[in-house]
Structure 1
Amino acid sequence: MNSAILHFISPPIPYFVDCGHAYYGVGDTHIDRNCLGVFDLIVVRKGVLPIGENGNTWEIKEGEGLILLPNGHHYGSAPCKTDTEITWIHFQTFGSWQMCRDTNECLGNQLELIEAHKKAVFLNHADACSIFISKYMKLSLKAMEALDTFFQQDHEPQSLRNWKRQASFQLLLQYLDRDHAPPADAAAIRLAEQIELFIRQNYANDITNSVLQEQMNYHPNYLAKVMMKVYGMTPMAYLQYYRLEQSKRLLLQTPWSIARIAGEVGFRHTSHYSTCFSKKEGLSPLSFRSKFAKQR
């Protein structure tokens, strides 16, 4: 199923707003509205829902879903030909997002979107990651089960129900994110995540392509290929990126010297650390500390 991909950066994770059911008889059409202000996930539980957004049209069948954009024009593209039941979930995000033609376009724009996100939500020293969700999708059994939990909580008090629905929404996002990729991409994503996890757990140590080859049991060229596909950089480039990100935390949260911070995150030479940091951030480690950290 070919579909555009919605690419969200987190944290913060997109958050739940509201949910409900809607029913359409034969001849009924979806409501016409403009700029709803939230994302609208529509899942058809029975029948077929003809729907349009900004000139594009879909016929959403049972077990399928569509995410309508917060700034779009949504409307019924034709009357329903059969009795139709839908579940809808409204959600929103404070973070950066974009819609891409396919996964490759998402991955190609990933680093730029993450950097813009960090500046927009003041996450200068925090890790950020991507969530990929197909705009038009066939929901897996796990995703449908997660969807059902939203309405199993109707008997709960409102305060408790809202907490549980937020947790249910995050679980649903996980399934939608995992389900969007075709098998070939899914295998590459899993391997790239293993590389990323190893780097994250061992970044202060001496990591080389040979070390990664021994750990992952793949040739360095293939490891570089999957990392480029998923993270937009080679393993060695990601290692340097992650070391610099960790150094930001230490610059803001400790009074340690630049030399000590360089060593703590895996740089052998302070001068090399300072050069890499300045090239990436546009200011030196000391200037970064002065700009963002309260004077001690």
Structure 2
Amino acid sequence: MAQPAYISISCLPLPTFIEGGYATFHAGDHHPNRNNLQYFILMFMIKGKLFISEDDNDYTVEPGEMFVLLPMHHHYSWHAVTEDTGYYWLHFYVSGHWQQQATLVPMRSAIKVPTLHHYTPTETLYLAKHAKMQHPDRLVQMTEQIFKNSSATKEYGFWQAQQLFIDVLQEVQVQSQQDSAMVQLSGQIQRYLRDHFDEKITNTTLSQEFHFHPNYLIRTLKATTGLTPTEFLRQYRMEEASKRLLNTNMLETEIAEAIGFQNIYYFSTVFKQYTGLSPSQYRQANTRRIKADKEGLK
């Protein structure tokens, strides 16, 4: 097996299963030569050997192994199949960020994710490009069920196939000890910021709380969420302010103090930078919209 390579995929939005099947080749056959397929190809080798190249890198995929081909890359056979060969293949589409490297690389979300109502310590799926399947029988069973669901005439078969495909990705995902530690620390930082968002929090505060240098804490949160602690805290506070402006009769000064701002003018400035409206404009505009929506339902 060649030098290990890993594919890091942003999971917001989630990868989408497109189609799949079981490919059979006989001695002398070649894998199709193509370079314009827009999907990832996840392969589970069942029998025989597949001699396949991707951008001049040669691989031999054997029974019990999984392999991933990248979208919009050149795929072709570097040697004809020498025996009856078969494997399951699944095409899936990724609209977010991804890259292939020799190490695991955290990927940020391709869409803006609220911090107030969304909690996940990591948004990256890691796949080994070429590896042994840990539970081949279970993967085969799940894959065949995906095909069965996706071809069902009932409309909910599509959703069942998508749900099961995510289960397959979870089954084959990779997570190193180092990444696990980073993910756990990121989750702890996020939870601390959520629980203490109304307090004064500095890099020194976090360093004393978690016993790491501030720069390491900043890198950890940035790598897993795309935000520094300061950015995460500000976004969370602005989302909390937005909720209170719409759902309570609290004065702006009361809201500012409740979410950790001592200066109402600074709060208003930050809120306008975040939403494009002052707190009062935001409350008025959204109150009118909500009222109009309710009247439209009458």
Given the two structures, how large is their TM-score scaled by the length of structure 1? 0.70
**Aligned in 2, Cα 1:286/1:211: closer, same or farther, shift over 3 Å?**
closer
Amino acid at match of 1:239: L
* Identical residues among aligned pairs (%): 25
Structure 1 or 2, whichever has the larger Rg, is: 2
Residue aligned with 2:123, SS: strand
Counterpart of 2:295 in structure 1 is none
Q: CA deviation at 1:88?
A: 0.9
Q: What displacement does 1:130 show?
A: 2.6
1:161-172 matches, within 5 Å, as: 161-172=157-168
Question: Residues of 2 paired with 1:215 and 1:55: CA distance?
Answer: 50
Show the 5 A alignment for 1:274-289: 274-277=268-271, 281=274, 283-285=276-278, 289=282
Q: Which amino acid in structure 2 is aligned with residue 99 of structure 1? A: Q
Q: Which amino acid aligns with 1:136?
A: K
Counterpart position of 2:67: 66
Cα drift, residue 143 of structure 1: 8.2
Q: 2:197 & 2:141 partners in 1: Cα distance?
A: 44
Cα offset, 1:136, TM superposition: 0.6
Deviations 1:198-255 (A, max 9, x none): 434x254437468767876x44645445334434555444323433355566678889
Number of the residue aligned with 2:131? 138
Are the equivalent residues in 1 in contact too, given 2:115–2:232 (CA < 8 A)?
no
Matched residue, 2:92: 91
1:270 and 2:264 aligned: yes
Q: Which runs of 5+ in 2 are unaligned?
A: 290-298
Which letter maps to 1:73? H
CA distance in 2, matches of 1:287, 1:27: 73
Distance 1:71 1:236, change over 3 A: same
The superposition leaves residues 174-199 of structure 1 with CA deviations (integer Å, 9 ceiling, x where unpaired) of 3444x1x3322222222222322443
Would the alpha carbon gap of residues 88 and 207 (structure 1) be closer, same or farther in structure 2, given more than 3 Å must change?
A: farther
1:173 alignment counterpart? 169
Q: Which moved more, 1:242-251 or 1:23-32?
A: 242-251
SS at match of 2:5: coil
Structure 1: tracts of 5 or more residues without a match: none
Q: Which amino acid aligns with 2:232?
A: Y
Deviation, 1:15, is 1.6
Work out whether residues 124 and 248 of structure 1, in 8 Å CA contact, stay in contact via their aligned partners in 2.
no
Residue of 189, 213, 232 corresponding to 1:238: 232
- The Cα shift of 1:125 comes to 9.3
| Aligned AA (1:59) | T
- In structure 2, the partner of 1:47 is 48
CA RMSD of aligned residues (A): 4.2
CA 1:145/1:207 → structure 2, altered by over 3 Å: closer, same or farther?
farther
Code of the aligned partner of 1:174:
Q
- Count of aligned residue pairs for this structure pair: 279
Amino acid aligned to 1:101: Q
Kept in 2, the 8 Å contact 1:146–1:168? The answer is: no
Say if 1:229 and 1:77 are closer, same or farther in 2 by CA, change over 3 A. Answer: same
**Is 1:147–1:172's contact at 8 Å kept on the other side of the alignment?**
no
Deviations 1:242-280 (A, max 9, x none): 33355566678889765565456544443333444455x
Query: Where do 1:76-225 residues align within 5 Å?
Result: 76-93=77-94, 95-101=95-101, 106-107=105-106, 110=108, 114=109, 117-118=111-112, 130-134=123-127, 136-138=129-131, 141=134, 145-146=138-139, 148-152=141-145, 157-159=152-154, 160-177=156-173, 179=174, 181-200=175-194, 202=195, 204-206=197-199, 208=201, 218-219=211-212, 221=214, 223-224=217-218
- Shift in CA distance, 3/144, structure 1 to aligned 2, threshold 3 Å: farther
